């Protein structure tokens, strides 16, 4: 029952957060220089007079502020994110079309960075002070300082332009009309560079964190107890240190999910990956604020989802929390 | 009797840059089968390092330089790591000081016990479980079926230490090393654990190396004693001999420093009250979120007591008795739920935040932790003058008074211009006392003010308090968990349990004719109580 | 403190690199009096192809070396100022929440959590897009997305310092709460704040360059991210146009991270694991 209550309260909190973001969106629209109707319609000239009049009515732009807010939030609650005059389609539809590609990219990058980051962190901690540890920490420090988008560009240059090993552009081979497994493989080949370049930065983050956490936990009293029992170092690391050390990394991974989703804007831009990040980039040039804010709302929703998942994982790993709740 | 462990000329190096070259310097001793050897010393004496060396668990940078340790006819200091590992937990087992942190928080107790068998490849999984249950029963843990599935956070400190002992006993080791295993526990729990170790020694005939700083504990369980100081053995002998005829001056000092049953002469104390606490109540509520039930703990439950002018009243109790909450409520660091705290006719409990600030100086406090009670970024002068200046004393006057007080507590006036990190623990407690005195309080509350100090330092601070009591006719509410310490300094003692005042009386009344069961229980649990009794009879006879 | 810091090789490398970047930024107008925008040669000149243009020219024939030097000014300025603004928001909020607890804490933390949930780069994009790209809007946007970790850190530190006995002693001395917070508690939280601030400057520089890369840079200020963004489409033919600004970013950010780590080790010597732990026995 406690798990159920936890999930319900988390969902309630998530809903409140989304509502707050919707209100923030509304305030931002009004803060933008110029007539909100024109802002909503995109750059002047993209929509005709009649459409703008329609917009005014729909959002009650000649009515009091709170009515406008109510109408705006109300429409978002029905997943009506407005209409993109630039693209000539409802924003929600644009986003739904692009969302699978973003989910594929971010989830792959998330898994890669978490798995390899933790594995490398554990390895580095086990060899602390030796050459292999220094090499790993230095590399992590370097990737930690490298702009995502630049790394992506350089990867395209080396692996796509110079070596020709992997496609550096798009989601699948255009015009190949592949189906089934062949198509999946084709998408997979296109996915390698974007997912790796997006994941590398976060891999560096998780590796550093895991290493530090492993070293910290290995100083704790219960590790000495485990040694006094006559356990081997490998068993101590696996059974005692790792599980305790991984908890803060999981927490961090949940918090960093927001950055991962944000980072996808850059990766998708470089690789012309047809996700919501690329959609946002295209809308920037067109000043299509409706689409920009829509993508913003949906990416926030994605982050909240990531957070709930990490929360649940945390509860499974740590027996103390469930008992306290 | 056969010798289980024999250590010869053991020397352990500290890493370069430490305060001395050797952690342990040319130490030799032996433990026989079925014998308990107590290794006694203050912090930094090298007693724990000796134990860690035997287990092959020395911290990085610390190395055995010379000597041997013969166990089962092998020198265990020179064994390859794999053989040391096979020895650990199987032939030699160890338990530690902090039961709260010595167990893996994410692993069930049963698994942590069964792991010992797994580490040494003994038994099948089902047998391991059965053995774990038997061990849990043997160390006296209640409801073994439940304990085996419990996580450490669900157990009390004493229960965790029992679980640790169960693990240590799993493979019937010939030698048990116990590193201050009862220091973190309450007296009554400590008495139970000591009894358990004695029982197990009798039943299993193992040798025990018991590390402690407390001669009371020594009197309770030791057969043989060695006393260590700065890495060297300064005295060795049977427990009876060392306790009754200590030869080395350091041992004599340690023993003198220990509050025994030697009760001080009762003093005549004036009856005028400095502090009157009337029907004080404080309840802590935790939880109480949307879905959580409220848990209530009555930390202070309708307590009334009086501290007379010039009197030292000891407030004694185990952890969770509410003694500290009472002290903190009396100075309004904690707001009471009800009752009065009368100081010089003013009810501190009833004042508003602003009025209170003007009256704060009347009751001051000396704190427990010498490392947390001074602001590391403020010079001592600031710590001693902030309060007086805030209450309106001119700066120059406050500063000269601060220098004077530093002289009085034995530090010298130039201490004022230094930062806290330049002082030792005992010196910091002196500064804490000077800070309290700087406010010219009507009463000082000392909250476990000597508990964090080594025995010999503790004695010096107690001497200072005794001296100040005479010179300044101070009124002190002295909060402590240690009855022996209270006996040394106090005129009267109040005993608290679970938020209630159990008994209050003069030191002689409490020690010689306790009226309540709980007080008798506490007195019986004091380590070395019997031994102290013999002193007491001598004192009474004299 | 300084001794521990200066004996840390990584930190000293960081200091040297950062000083180099600062010197370049300060001397840019002397080295390249014509500014970064002027056409000096024909476009797409490779590095070293022409004397006086060691890094070549860009798509419009502008001097890449001059662009890099002026870009350093923008990066450092935005990094520094946005971090200061973030500290101005985060430190007071975290300090009040941690010190006063109860509903102040509850409110402040809900607010902070909300901002932490929002994907910060996406929010920065939205803010700059809506308020028109300029150095001011970029700096403010970065500050707005960077303060929550500061608030959390300061709150945690204040809460732990607040529990220490010297704070109780200050209350018993009759000091007012604001005075206790300012003179007793906050001074003890300075070191972790400094460490975090140095790492934040690094992150801010990355953020600024990312925004410029997407075309959200100040149109009147040359920046490294803008250079890479502008050269993105010609990467197949003129790789150096995106390569060098990227290296400049890596060097600057790396230097700041190294300094931050060095400060952290210097402030917390007992946590530093590189040196052998001085063996003081815990009895």
DSSP conformation letters of A245-274: HHHHHHHHHHHHHHHHHHHHHHHHHHHT--
Among the partner residues A222, A243, A317, nearest to B102 by beta-carbon distance: A222
CA C63 to chain CA centroid, Å, is 27
- pLDDT for position B458: 87
- pLDDT for position B123: 87
End-to-end CA distance of chain A: 10
Statement: residue A52 has pLDDT above 80: no
- pLDDT for position C232: 86
CB pairs under 8 A between A and C: 127
**Domain finish residue from A36, A67, A91:** A91
Q: Which residue of C has its CA nearest to A216?
A: C271
> What is the domain extent for residue C26?
2-253
Among the partner residues C122, C242, C246, nearest to A296 by beta-carbon distance: C122
pLDDT digits (tens, 9 = 90+) for B350-379: 999 889 998 999 999 999 888 899 999 999
Give the ipTM of the model, two decimals please: 0.86
pLDDT digits (tens, 9 = 90+) for B77-116: 999 989 999 999 999 999 998 888 899 998 999 999 999 9
User: Does residue C243 fall inside a structural domain?
Assistant: yes
Note whether C129 contacts A142, CB cutoff 8 Å. Answer: no
- pLDDT for position C275: 35
Provide, as residue numbers in chain A, all residues whose Cβ is less than 8 Å from the Cβ of C228.
147, 149-150, 153
User: Does residue A325 fall inside a structural domain?
Assistant: no
| Opening angle at CA A89, ends A85 and A94, nearest 5 | 115
Is residue A55 domain-shared with residue A105, that is, in the same domain? Answer: no
Q: What's phi and psi for A233, nearest 5 deg?
A: -55, -40
Enumerate chain A positions whose Cβ falls within 8 A of a Cβ in B.
Answer: 2, 5, 9, 220-222, 224-232, 235, 239-240, 243-244, 317-320, 323, 325
Provide, as residue numbers in chain C, all residues whose Cβ is less than 8 Å from the Cβ of A299.
119, 122
- pLDDT for position A40: 65
Among the partner residues A221, A227, A239, nearest to B101 by beta-carbon distance: A221
Statement: residue B222 has pLDDT above 60: yes
A193 is written with which tokens? 């560079």
- pLDDT for position A39: 65
- pLDDT for position A324: 42
Provide, as residue numbers in chain A, all residues whose Cβ is less than 8 Å from the Cβ of B88.
227-230
Among the partner residues A228, A232, A320, nearest to B57 by beta-carbon distance: A228
Residue B542 — very low, low, confident or very high, per pLDDT cuts 50/70/90? very low
Among the partner residues B15, B49, B390, nearest to C173 by beta-carbon distance: B390
C120 is written with which tokens? 């910060």
Phi and psi based region of residue A170 (left: phi greater than 0; alpha: psi -120 to 50; beta: remaining):
left
Among the partner residues B86, B104, B291, nearest to A5 by beta-carbon distance: B291
Say if CB A277 and CB A267 are below 8 A apart. yes
Q: Which of B102, B150, B175, B178 to mutate: most A Cβ within 10 Å?
A: B102
Provide, as residue numbers in chain C, all residues whose Cβ is less than 8 Å from the Cβ of B357.
174, 176
> DSSP string covering A23-49, please?
HHHHHHHHHSSS-HHHHHH-STTSS-H
What's the predicted TM-score (pTM) here?
A: 0.86
Separation CA A136–CA A124 (nearest Å): 7
Residues 23-62 of A with CB under 8 A from C: 28-29, 31-33
Note whether A266 contacts C214, CB cutoff 8 Å. Answer: yes
pLDDT digits (tens, 9 = 90+) for C91-103: 999 999 999 988 8
User: Does residue A249 fall inside a structural domain?
Assistant: yes
* Average pLDDT over every residue of B528-535: 63
CATH code of residue A241? 1.10.3720.10
B158 close to C (CB below 8 A): no
User: Does residue A324 fall inside a structural domain?
Assistant: no
User: Does residue A267 fall inside a structural domain?
Assistant: yes
Is residue A149 domain-shared with residue A132, that is, in the same domain? Answer: yes
CB atoms within 10 A of CB B271: 8
Q: What's phi and psi for B534, nearest 5 deg?
A: -65, -35
Where helices occur in B413-482 by DSSP H, the ranges are 425-438, 455-472
A300 close to C (CB below 8 A): yes
Chains touching A (at least 3 CB pairs under 8 A) are: B, C
User: Does residue A286 fall inside a structural domain?
Assistant: yes
Among the partner residues C114, C119, C206, nearest to A17 by beta-carbon distance: C114
C226 is written with which tokens? 């803008």
Statement: residue C283 has pLDDT above 50: no
User: Does residue A182 fall inside a structural domain?
Assistant: yes
pLDDT digits (tens, 9 = 90+) for B13-48: 988 877 788 999 999 999 999 999 999 998 888 899
Note whether B333 contacts C278, CB cutoff 8 Å. Answer: no
* pLDDT greater at residue C234 or residue C252: C252
Q: Which helix (H) or strand (E) holds B443?
A: strand B443-447
- pLDDT for position B104: 92
* pLDDT greater at residue A325 or residue C179: C179
Q: How many domains does chain A have?
A: 2
A144 close to C (CB below 8 A): yes
Is residue A109 domain-shared with residue A257, that is, in the same domain? Answer: yes
Note whether B106 contacts A5, CB cutoff 8 Å. Answer: no
- pLDDT for position B320: 83
Our CA-based measurement puts residue B231 at a distance from the nearest CA of chain C, in whole angstroms, of 11
Q: What interhelical angle do C190-213 and A243-271 show, nearest 10? A: 30
Is residue A259 domain-shared with residue A309, that is, in the same domain? Answer: yes
- pLDDT for position A304: 87
- pLDDT for position B484: 84
**Domain finish residue from A67, A91, A115:** A91
* Average pLDDT over every residue of A13-22: 88
Note whether C184 contacts B375, CB cutoff 8 Å. Answer: yes
Note whether C174 contacts B378, CB cutoff 8 Å. Answer: no
Average pLDDT, chain C: 87
Is residue A173 domain-shared with residue A46, that is, in the same domain? Answer: no
| Opening angle at CA A306, ends A303 and A311, nearest 5 | 125
- pLDDT for position C272: 44
Q: How many domains does chain C have?
A: 1
Separation CA A273–CA A267 (nearest Å): 8
Q: Which of C3, C274, C281, C282 to mutate: most B Cβ within 10 Å?
A: C281
User: Does residue C271 fall inside a structural domain?
Assistant: no
Residue C279 — very low, low, confident or very high, per pLDDT cuts 50/70/90? very low
CATH code of residue C12? 1.10.3720.10
Statement: residue B290 has pLDDT above 80: no
* Average pLDDT over every residue of A248-252: 84
User: Does residue A27 fall inside a structural domain?
Assistant: yes
Is residue A75 domain-shared with residue A104, that is, in the same domain? Answer: no
Percent share of chain C, pLDDT over 90: 58
- Which residues have CB under 8 Å from A32's CB, separation 6+? A39, A289, C130, C131
Separation CA B293–CA B282 (nearest Å): 19
Residue A321 — very low, low, confident or very high, per pLDDT cuts 50/70/90? low
A161 close to C (CB below 8 A): yes
Statement: residue A84 has pLDDT above 60: yes
Provide, as residue numbers in chain B, all residues whose Cβ is less than 8 Å from the Cβ of A231.
85, 89, 115, 119
Q: Which residue of B has its CA nearest to A236?
A: B119
Note whether C168 contacts B18, CB cutoff 8 Å. Answer: no
Is residue A219 domain-shared with residue A300, that is, in the same domain? Answer: yes
pLDDT digits (tens, 9 = 90+) for A88-109: 888 889 999 999 999 999 989 9
Note whether B18 contacts C276, CB cutoff 8 Å. Answer: no
Provide, as residue numbers in chain C, all residues whose Cβ is less than 8 Å from the Cβ of A141.
254, 257-258
Given 3-state DSSP classes, what are the helix, strand and coil percentages for chain A, each rounded to the nearest 5?
80, 0, 20
Our CA-based measurement puts residue B527 at a distance from the nearest CA of chain A, in whole angstroms, of 26
Is residue A129 domain-shared with residue A53, that is, in the same domain? Answer: no
Is residue A81 domain-shared with residue A184, that is, in the same domain? Answer: no
* Average pLDDT over every residue of C196-208: 94
- pLDDT for position A2: 63
**Domain finish residue from A38, A61, A91:** A91
Among the partner residues B120, B154, B291, nearest to A230 by beta-carbon distance: B120
User: Does residue A192 fall inside a structural domain?
Assistant: yes
Note whether C279 contacts B61, CB cutoff 8 Å. Answer: yes
Average pLDDT, chain B: 88
Distances from the Cα of B94 to the Cαs of B50, B181, C131, in angstroms? 12, 10, 66
pLDDT digits (tens, 9 = 90+) for B138-167: 888 888 999 999 999 888 888 999 999 999
Separation CA C247–CA A150 (nearest Å): 9
Note whether C119 contacts A128, CB cutoff 8 Å. Answer: no
Note whether B119 contacts A232, CB cutoff 8 Å. Answer: yes
Nearest to B384 by CA among B368, B371, B369, B397: B397
- pLDDT for position A184: 87
Task: Identify each DSSP E strand in chain A by its residue range.
Answer: 83-84, 89-90
- pLDDT for position A47: 58
User: Does residue C278 fall inside a structural domain?
Assistant: no
User: Does residue C259 fall inside a structural domain?
Assistant: no
User: Does residue C238 fall inside a structural domain?
Assistant: yes
Statement: residue C147 has pLDDT above 90: yes
* pLDDT greater at residue A41 or residue B466: B466
> What is the domain extent for residue A182?
97-319
pLDDT digits (tens, 9 = 90+) for C12-35: 999 999 999 999 999 988 888 888
Is residue A57 domain-shared with residue A196, that is, in the same domain? Answer: no
Is residue A171 domain-shared with residue A239, that is, in the same domain? Answer: yes
Is residue A219 domain-shared with residue A296, that is, in the same domain? Answer: yes
Q: Which residue of B has its CA nearest to C278?
A: B18
Statement: residue B541 has pLDDT above 50: no
B87 is written with which tokens? 């020895």
A159 close to C (CB below 8 A): no
Average pLDDT, chain A: 84
């Amino acid at each position: 029952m406690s798990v159920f209550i936890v999930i319900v309260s988390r969902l309630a909190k998530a809903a409140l957060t989304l509502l707050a973001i919707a209100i923030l969106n509304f305030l931002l629209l009004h803060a933008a220089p110029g007539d909100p109707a024109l802002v909503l319609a995109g750059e002047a000239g993209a929509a005709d007079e009649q459409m703008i009049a329609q917009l005014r009515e729909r959002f009650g732009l000649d009515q009091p502020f709170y009515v406008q807010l109510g109408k705006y939030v109300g429409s978002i609650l029905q997943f009506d994110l407005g209409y993109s005059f630039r693209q000539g389609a409802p924003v929600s539809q644009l986003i739904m079309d692009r969302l699978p590609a973003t989910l594929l990219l971010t989830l792959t990058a998330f898994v890669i960075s978490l798995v390899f980051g933790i594995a490398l962190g554990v390895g580095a901690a086990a060899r602390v002070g030796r050459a292999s540890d220094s090499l790993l920490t230095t590399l992590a420090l370097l990737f930690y300082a490298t702009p995502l988008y630049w790394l992506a560009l350089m990867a395209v240059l080396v692996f796509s332009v110079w070596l020709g090993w992997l496609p550096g552009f798009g989601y699948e081979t255009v015009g190949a009309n592949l189906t089934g497994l062949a198509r999946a493989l084709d998408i997979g080949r296109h996915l390698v560079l974007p997912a790796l370049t997006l994941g590398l930065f976060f891999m560096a983050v998780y590796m550093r964190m895991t290493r530090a956490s492993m070293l910290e936990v290995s100083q704790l009293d219960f590790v000495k107890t485990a040694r006094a029992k006559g356990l081997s170092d490998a068993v101590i690391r696996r059974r005692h240190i790792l599980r305790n050390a991984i908890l803060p990394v999981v927490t961090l991974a949940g918090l960093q999910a927001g950055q991962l989703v944000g980072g996808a804007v850059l990766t998708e831009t470089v690789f012309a990956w047809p996700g919501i990040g690329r959609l946002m980039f295209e809308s920037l040039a067109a000043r299509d604020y409706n689409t920009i804010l829509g993508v913003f709302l949906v990416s926030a929703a994605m982050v909240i989802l990531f957070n709930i998942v990490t929360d649940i994982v945390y509860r499974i790993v740590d027996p103390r929390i469930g008992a306290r709740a | 009797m056969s010798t289980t462990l024999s250590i010869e000329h053991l020397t352990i190096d500290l890493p370069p840059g430490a305060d001395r070259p050797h952690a342990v310097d040319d130490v030799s001793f032996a433990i026989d089968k079925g014998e308990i050897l107590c290794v006694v010393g203050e912090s930094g004496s090298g007693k724990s390092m000796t134990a860690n060396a035997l287990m092959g668990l020395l911290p990085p940078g610390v190395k055995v330089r010379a000597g041997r340790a013969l166990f089962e006819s092998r020198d265990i200091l020179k064994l390859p790591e794999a053989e040391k590992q096979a020895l650990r937990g199987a032939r030699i087992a160890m338990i530690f000081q902090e039961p709260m942190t010595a167990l893996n928080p994410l692993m069930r107790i049963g698994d942590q016990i069964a792991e010992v068998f797994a580490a040494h490849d003994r038994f099948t999984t089902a047998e391991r479980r059965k053995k774990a249950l038997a061990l849990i029963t043997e160390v006296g843990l209640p409801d073994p079926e439940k304990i085996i599935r419990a996580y450490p956070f669900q157990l009390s400190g004493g229960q965790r230490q029992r679980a640790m002992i169960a693990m240590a006993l799993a493979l019937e080791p010939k030698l048990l090393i116990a590193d201050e295993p009862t220091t973190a526990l309450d007296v009554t729990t400590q008495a139970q654990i000591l009894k358990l170790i004695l029982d197990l020694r009798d039943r299993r005939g193992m040798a025990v190396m018991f590390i402690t700083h407390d001669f009371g504990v020594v009197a309770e369980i030791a057969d043989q004693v060695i006393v260590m100081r700065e890495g060297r053995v300064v005295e060795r002998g049977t427990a009876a001999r060392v306790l009754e005829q200590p030869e080395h001056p350091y041992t004599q000092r340690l023993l003198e420093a220990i509050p025994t049953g030697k009760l001080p002469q009762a003093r005549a104390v004036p009856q005028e009250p400095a502090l009157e606490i009337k029907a004080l109540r404080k309840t802590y509520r935790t939880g109480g979120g949307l879905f959580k039930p409220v848990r209530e703990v009555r930390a202070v439950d309708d307590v009334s007591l009086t501290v007379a002018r010039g009197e030292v009243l000891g407030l004694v109790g185990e952890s969770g008795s509410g003694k500290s909450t009472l002290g903190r409520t009396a100075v309004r660091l904690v707001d009471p739920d009800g009752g009065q705290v009368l100081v010089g006719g003013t009810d501190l409990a009833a004042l508003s935040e602003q009025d209170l600030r003007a009256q704060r100086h009347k009751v001051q406090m000396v704190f427990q932790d010498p490392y947390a009670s001074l602001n590391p970024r403020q010079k001592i002068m600031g710590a001693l003058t902030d309060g007086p200046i805030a209450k309106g004393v001119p700066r120059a006057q406050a500063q000269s008074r601060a220098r004077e007080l530093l002289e009085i507590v034995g530090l010298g006036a130039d201490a004022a211009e230094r930062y806290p990190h330049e002082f030792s623990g005992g010196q910091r407690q002196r500064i804490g006392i000077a800070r309290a005195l700087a406010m010219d309080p009507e009463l000082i509350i000392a909250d476990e003010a000597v508990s964090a100090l080594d025995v010999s330092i503790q004695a010096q601070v107690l001497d200072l308090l005794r001296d100040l009591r005479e010179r300044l006719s101070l009124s002190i509410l002295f909060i402590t968990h240690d009855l022996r310490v209270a006996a040394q300094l106090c005129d009267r003692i109040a005993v608290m349990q679970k938020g209630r005042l159990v008994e209050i009386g003069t030191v002689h009344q409490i020690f010689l004719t306790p009226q309540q069961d709980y007080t008798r229980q506490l007195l019986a649990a004091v380590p070395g109580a019997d031994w102290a009794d013999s002193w007491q009879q001598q004192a009474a006879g004299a | 403190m300084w001794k521990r810091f200066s004996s840390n090789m990584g930190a000293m490398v960081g200091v040297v690199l950062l000083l180099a970047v600062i010197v370049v930024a300060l001397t840019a107008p002397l080295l390249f009096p014509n500014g970064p925008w002027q056409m000096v040669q024909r476009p797409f000149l490779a590095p070293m192809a022409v004397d006086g243009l060691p890094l070549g020219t860009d798509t419009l024939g502008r001097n890449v070396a001059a662009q890099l030097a002026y870009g350093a000014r923008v990066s450092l300025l935005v990094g520094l100022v946005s971090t200061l603004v973030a500290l101005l928001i985060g430190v007071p909020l975290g300090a009040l929440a941690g010190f006063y607890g109860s509903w102040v804490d509850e409110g402040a933390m809900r607010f902070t959590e909300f901002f932490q949930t929002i994907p910060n780069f996406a929010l920065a994009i939205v803010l700059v897009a809506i308020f028109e790209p300029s150095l001011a809007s970029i700096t403010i946007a970065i500050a707005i997305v960077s303060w929550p970790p500061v608030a959390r850190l300061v709150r945690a530190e204040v809460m732990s310092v607040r529990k220490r006995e010297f704070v109780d002693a200050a209350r018993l001395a009759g000091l007012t709460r604001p005075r206790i917070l300012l003179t007793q508690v906050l001074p003890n939280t300075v070191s972790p704040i400094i460490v975090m601030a140095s790492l934040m400057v690094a992150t801010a520089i990355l953020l600024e360059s990312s925004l410029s890369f997407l075309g959200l840079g100040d149109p009147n200020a040359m920046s490294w991210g803008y250079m890479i963004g502008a050269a993105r489409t010609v990467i197949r033919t003129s790789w150096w146009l995106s390569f060098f600004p990227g290296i400049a970013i890596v060097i600057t950010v790396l230097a700041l991270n190294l300094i931050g780590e060095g400060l952290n080790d210097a402030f917390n010597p007992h946590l530093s694991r590189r040196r052998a732990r001085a063996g003081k026995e815990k009895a």
